[in-house]
Structure 1
Amino acid sequence: MSSARVRDILAPVSDDRIGSELDGRYRIQDKLGAGAMGVVYRGERIGLGRNVAIKFLHEHMATDDGFLTRFAVEAQATGRLQHPNCAAVIDFGVVEREPYVVMDLVAGQPLRDLLDDERLSAGRALGIMRQILAGLAHAHEQGITHRDIKPDNIMVESGVAFGDQVCILDFGLAKVRESATGLTVGMVVGTPNYMAPEQTLAQPVDERTDVYAAGIVLFEMLTGEKPFRADTTPEILRMQRETPPPRLASFAGEGVFSDELEYVVARALAKAPAQRFHSATAFAQALDEVPEMAARAATPTPLPVALEPTAPRQTPIPGQSHVSVSAPTALVDAAASDASRLHPRQPTSNQAAHAPGNRGAIPGKRWMLIGGGGLLALIVLALAITSASDAPATDDGTASLVDPSEIEIEAPSGTEQLEEKLEEKLAEARALTATERTTEARALLEKLRGEHREVAEVHYLLGQVYFETLWVKDGLAAFEDAIELNPAYSRDPAFIDSVVYGLANDRYHKAVAHFLTRRVGAAARPAVAEMAENYHRREVRTRASRLLRRLPK
């Protein structure tokens, strides 16, 4: 149906809705726009004055019971999204056979408008993409695939002080990976210019479908052009399936972009899902290694991190032999470091296997910035921080850093000898975490928590997984339980590192600060001081500085 026809159908209904109340809870103020599935209005929560966006399903769709079912499933699915880079669903319902969903009203402009107005620098494009991938990583953790990532569905709020803040809109085309849905298999859904090959064939999709679309968005941000252009939709769909993606240099010129970035984009746009990055997180990690990302960072260049542990870096991509970009040496070498990330340290002879020190580190540490909106995924390579009260003082009275392996941490009383089966399960959980299979690790640890609530390490490992998957509130609760069972965890470097990074969470930073003040105290000072000095967002540095003044010395 043409856009003109849609406007003709919707115009009288839209006029009637403006100024009316919805379900006694919302007042509709004005129309914001229309999309493939519905019309969006600006609204207000009656009694609270909260601005919201209200989306109604198109009237001609609402008569179809299949679409109504799909709408309800999608609304419930997107209600699980709680991330600053994802538009939050507040409410949904059906009034007189008119389904609606209420979302946060997101400020800014569509990325499409930004791309139409100006050519983005490589650094800015990568910063925006990191936040897009952050939102997608969170959605994928909830079992949600967006299926229609494109510049029109990405809002960017620009600010001189804090930089770009990105939010993904319209998870209304989401496919939930649950057997109870199965609503969109066999139906082509999406936007042709950003469709993955499997979408054009109406095949099942997963997070790698979003990786492909994000790769096209990144290509467009970097070059100002879409990789596949044609006069007809069928030809664009054919190119998505069969035509190898061009190099960035074919649009921008040789030498403008690094070989590392060429490789990352080419891999994201691989025709076969198995040849792409297996997740948004892996895509983001790869971007962290390119020179363009290091150049935009205010902090020193991060240590290399493997893109993903199982995929060979120089495996040719089928149908892309003309893309003469081999995996750069830095990315190949990075694979060797993957096993060390988030890997448990072997306990010393005077430490039980479940003592806090077993998740140790090597000197130095790495921050993987996941979202400018306020959350970050933790990839802890190392840390050498201990309690300021225990560390030797320097001339200026501050605590000096010591090797974490030298910290004496007692084993929790009453659990020195864990059952062999539990030991095996804990080892399995650590291995899953080390290979970024966090969903499986979380499920295993949550099961163990129900069976072994008396074991501190179960709560500790679960808290680490929660923080790594950006579930800060749940992470704090798990760490609280760990400390109750074994107060020594409050001095564990990896534990402190995880909690301190939670200060970047815009929703729970106050709870994080309270936890650090009440439960950790002076031991948190070095990590908080580092965040106050080096974190890339000014408001987070301010939070850390304020907390530093409250922490005991």
Structure 2
Amino acid sequence: MTAAGTTRDLSALVGTVLDGTYRLDQLIGEGGMGAVFRGRHVIMMRDVAIKVLHPDFNRDPELVRRFDREAQSAARLDHPNCIHVSAYGTTEDGMRYLVMQLLEGVELADLLTEPTAPKRVVEWSIQILRGLEHAHSQGVIHRDLKPQNVFLTRDQHGNQLLKLVDFGIAKLVGSDAGDPLTRAGMVFGTPQYMSPEQALGVEIDPRADLYAVGILMFQMLTGRLPFNHEDAIALIRMQVSTETPQLPDNVPQELAAIVYRLLAKQREQRFPDARTVRAALERYRSNMSHKGRGDTSNPLLDIGGVGAVADTANRPLPEALRPRQIDFVESVLDTDRWTRRTWFKALIAGCVVLALVSVGLIYLLFFGGGGQQPAADPPAEARTDASDSAVDTGGPGPSAMSPGAGPSEQELAALDDLIKQGKLDEAQAQIDALLERHPGHAQLVWRDARQLGKRPTMHEAAVRRYGEVLKKSPGLERDLGFIDEVDALLRKRPYTDAAIALAVDLGAAGVPILVHYINDAKPWATWAQRRQIRDALPADAAAQVDVVLNRRRDLEQYGDAPDPCVAALAALQPIKDEPLADYVPALKAAQAPAPPAEAAPTPVCDEAAALLATVRTDYARRFPEAFAPAKPVKKKPVKKKKRGK
């Protein structure tokens, strides 16, 4: 390090080489703690971004700890939607640095000057949630998610790619004991995006990040923050107790329902995790596409605890979908101390609640029809329809999905506990015993599928069992808890015919899974499997299909089609019309199509063979380097050893 490193003129560090490896080329950002430089790995000759902590701050343990936290947090992450950290170190004279992926683009904050189209909001939010889903799975809670910490760039194909950055105050689950950054009562984050529990300084979990996603979505949809104030204390108070403002009427009702649930003041009322929100948004996107083709089903409203309603985007949101304002009992909580006055308020609140409960019991006793004869059971058709509007509770659906006698709630709860605890053999034994008493009962089959899904070697059996449950209760294709379980299972390898069939049976909810299958870079799917997936995808999902990848697969697999000659023509024509170097390897390996076994040659086969030759010639002219013949390897002459005379 040069002497300039000890001054506050960080631009003087340009040209410095850190630890003989990373050269600081250009100052591209500066903050209170340090700066970010465009740099160069002088050995690998690769451009990087280098974040340095100002040397003057090395004496501040809190700032050093925060800088170290960013390195520790980001180092756990390896996902397209998270910033990638490749190195971290300290120079001989004590300057800390962090080497990151160099991103070209803009901060999301630069794009939020006006309302964003709902479709784009959904696409961006899904990417943010994918990044959070990965971070949370690695035990990292961001705690400072805001537009300045979401970077919009492009991937290698030119598609928009959002990345989460700046994990400087992230919480590392399981390694925070005694860390001042995570002590109860300490408040960290940006007040405009801070969850109520974070603002109160209480213990947080990943749902704090989901609240911030709700703030981001509200801001993207409206161009303004739901809560804002010049006074930080007043702003924190708003996050804790002020009801979420109404979204504009032009925001689709189902999308508004997701935002309101994310912004629930009580974290128990929010979505359970990032994957569930991401799946809900993907289903919303798919559902909106289906509506354009006459499908008026509305599964998204089930997530808020409301049945199906009229399909009108501008209709006011049902009050039940709105997060309730924080009640009096919760508003008197104080993380610093409980004063005598606060205890008195809580005591009064408790008395009020007790009085209300008593009034309710009296009303039920005298006016609730306790003396009337119970109504006759509804017909089976009515009970089956009731399952379609089941409220999502995060677990198995209501007993209406399995008409008739079945296991008790206590028996089902005991099974759930065993499966959660990983006591799968014990759960299996109890399920088998209950199935003898209640053959084919959907609730039991569901739990059997769940416990099978937790066994590494029983993937295929679990897929089949989930398929049985869905056939018994078709309404489950709109049950968030069921879909979430199946989605997680179907995204695990191996992908089989049964997995594809189950994803198809899920209808709109299965479209994201089928897209995931058809776009998988690994060539596991046969021609028949890919055809089955493609035929099941709705027309509006075509934009999500990786066209180049699938054209290449068509070219590689047309020999497996029922009529190879017809399949070859269909594969070669678009490759001829839109030449890309990506197709060259498959073209070089392709064989002239032959008619099916025991079938006579047809003109179609001759036409396909001629087209293959034409395309190859055209590509050889366009991409001569790729088609150049391999140079022969020259063998070194073997020297003959002279034998002694």
Under a length normalisation based on structure 2, what TM-score does the superposition of the two structures give?
A: 0.54
Match of 1:258 in 2: 252
More helix per residue: 2
Q: Check conservation: 2:81, 2:163, Cα contact below 8 A.
A: yes
- The alpha-carbon deviation at position 169 of structure 1 amounts to 1.3
Higher RCO (CA 8 Å, separation ≥ 6 residues):
1
CA 525–238 in structure 1, closer or farther in 2 if over 3 Å, else same:
same
- The alpha-carbon deviation at position 298 of structure 1 amounts to 9.2
2:138 counterpart of 1:142: yes
Letter in 2 for 1:148: D
**1:174 aligned to which of 170, 177, 187:** 170
Q: Check conservation: 1:426, 1:458, Cα contact below 8 A.
A: no
Match of 2:25 in 1: 29
- The alpha-carbon deviation at position 15 of structure 1 amounts to 2.1
Q: Summarize deviations over 1:301-346 as a string: whole Å, max 9, x none.
A: 797656898978847733179xxxxxxxx999364798789xxxxx
CA 194–332 in structure 1, closer or farther in 2 if over 3 Å, else same:
farther
Q: Check conservation: 2:463, 2:490, Cα contact below 8 A.
A: no
Q: For 1:425 and 1:309, how far apart are their aligned partners in 2?
A: 31
What are the equivalent positions in structure 2 for 1:224-235 lying under 5 Å apart? Answer: 224-235=223-234
Match of 1:112 in 2: 109
Q: Check conservation: 1:125, 1:221, Cα contact below 8 A.
A: yes
Q: For 1:282 and 1:13, how far apart are their aligned partners in 2?
A: 47
Q: For 2:168, what is the secondary structure of its paired residue?
A: helix
CA 246–44 in structure 1, closer or farther in 2 if over 3 Å, else same:
same
Q: Check conservation: 1:532, 1:540, Cα contact below 8 A.
A: no
What are the equivalent positions in structure 2 for 1:174-323 lying under 5 Å apart? Answer: 174-181=170-177, 183=179, 184-185=182-183, 186-249=185-248, 255-288=249-282, 294=288, 314=320, 317-319=323-325
Match of 1:79 in 2: 75
Once structures 1 and 2 are overlaid, which stretch shifts more, 79-88 or 284-293?
A: 284-293
Q: Summarize deviations over 1:111-154 as a string: whole Å, max 9, x none.
A: 111113x5422221222112112211221121211111111111
Once structures 1 and 2 are overlaid, which stretch shifts more, 61-70 or 82-91?
A: 61-70
Q: Check conservation: 1:306, 1:338, Cα contact below 8 A.
A: no
Q: Check conservation: 1:145, 1:175, Cα contact below 8 A.
A: yes
Q: Check conservation: 1:123, 1:292, Cα contact below 8 A.
A: no
Q: Check conservation: 1:532, 1:543, Cα contact below 8 A.
A: no
Q: Summarize deviations over 1:173-215 as a string: whole Å, max 9, x none.
A: 2101114555222322111111112222222221111111111
2:389 counterpart of 1:333: yes
Q: Summarize deviations over 1:426-484 as a string: whole Å, max 9, x none.
A: 99xxx9xx89xx9xx99x95xx65xxx7x7769999xx999966998xx55xx39xxxx
Q: Check conservation: 2:260, 2:321, Cα contact below 8 A.
A: no
Letter in 2 for 1:80: R
Q: For 1:154 and 1:98, how far apart are their aligned partners in 2?
A: 27
Give the gaps of 5 or more residues in structure 2: 308-319, 328-385, 398-423, 433-442, 465-482, 505-511, 562-645
CA 291–50 in structure 1, closer or farther in 2 if over 3 Å, else same:
closer
**1:89 aligned to which of 85, 96, 102:** 85
Q: For 2:91 and 2:293, how far apart are their aligned partners in 1?
A: 52
Match of 1:526 in 2: 532
**1:14 aligned to which of 10, 21, 25:** 10
CA 504–261 in structure 1, closer or farther in 2 if over 3 Å, else same:
same
Q: Summarize deviations over 1:470-512 as a string: whole Å, max 9, x none.
A: 998xx55xx39xxxxxxxx57753699999755687xxx54x1
Letter in 2 for 1:100: Y
**1:540 aligned to which of 533, 540, 546:** 546
Letter in 1 for 2:233: P
Q: Check conservation: 2:463, 2:499, Cα contact below 8 A.
A: no
- The alpha-carbon deviation at position 227 of structure 1 amounts to 1.1
Q: For 1:238 and 1:331, how far apart are their aligned partners in 2?
A: 40
CA 188–338 in structure 1, closer or farther in 2 if over 3 Å, else same:
closer
Q: For 2:103 and 2:431, how far apart are their aligned partners in 1?
A: 42
Q: For 1:302 and 1:547, how far apart are their aligned partners in 2?
A: 35
* Structure with the greater alpha carbon radius of gyration: 2
- The alpha-carbon deviation at position 246 of structure 1 amounts to 0.8
Q: Check conservation: 2:81, 2:127, Cα contact below 8 A.
A: yes
Q: Check conservation: 1:258, 1:292, Cα contact below 8 A.
A: no
- The alpha-carbon deviation at position 288 of structure 1 amounts to 4.4
Q: For 2:395 and 2:535, how far apart are their aligned partners in 1?
A: 29
Q: Check conservation: 2:261, 2:322, Cα contact below 8 A.
A: no
Q: For 1:531 and 1:125, how far apart are their aligned partners in 2?
A: 23
- The alpha-carbon deviation at position 162 of structure 1 amounts to 6.0
**1:156 aligned to which of 152, 166, 181:** 152
CA 194–180 in structure 1, closer or farther in 2 if over 3 Å, else same:
closer
Q: For 1:211 and 1:301, how far apart are their aligned partners in 2?
A: 30
Q: For 2:237, what is the secondary structure of its paired residue?
A: helix
Match of 2:118 in 1: 122
Q: For 2:530 and 2:14, how far apart are their aligned partners in 1?
A: 52
Q: For 1:331 and 1:47, how far apart are their aligned partners in 2?
A: 63
Q: For 1:548, what is the secondary structure of its paired residue?
A: helix
- The alpha-carbon deviation at position 222 of structure 1 amounts to 0.8
CA 339–105 in structure 1, closer or farther in 2 if over 3 Å, else same:
same
Letter in 1 for 2:548: T
CA 227–310 in structure 1, closer or farther in 2 if over 3 Å, else same:
closer
User: How many residue pairs get matched?
Assistant: 420
Cα RMSD after superposing both structures: 4.8
**1:53 aligned to which of 45, 49, 52:** 49
Q: For 1:171, what is the secondary structure of its paired residue?
A: coil
- The alpha-carbon deviation at position 158 of structure 1 amounts to 6.9
Q: For 1:334 and 1:545, how far apart are their aligned partners in 2?
A: 41
Q: Check conservation: 2:144, 2:193, Cα contact below 8 A.
A: yes
- The alpha-carbon deviation at position 256 of structure 1 amounts to 1.6
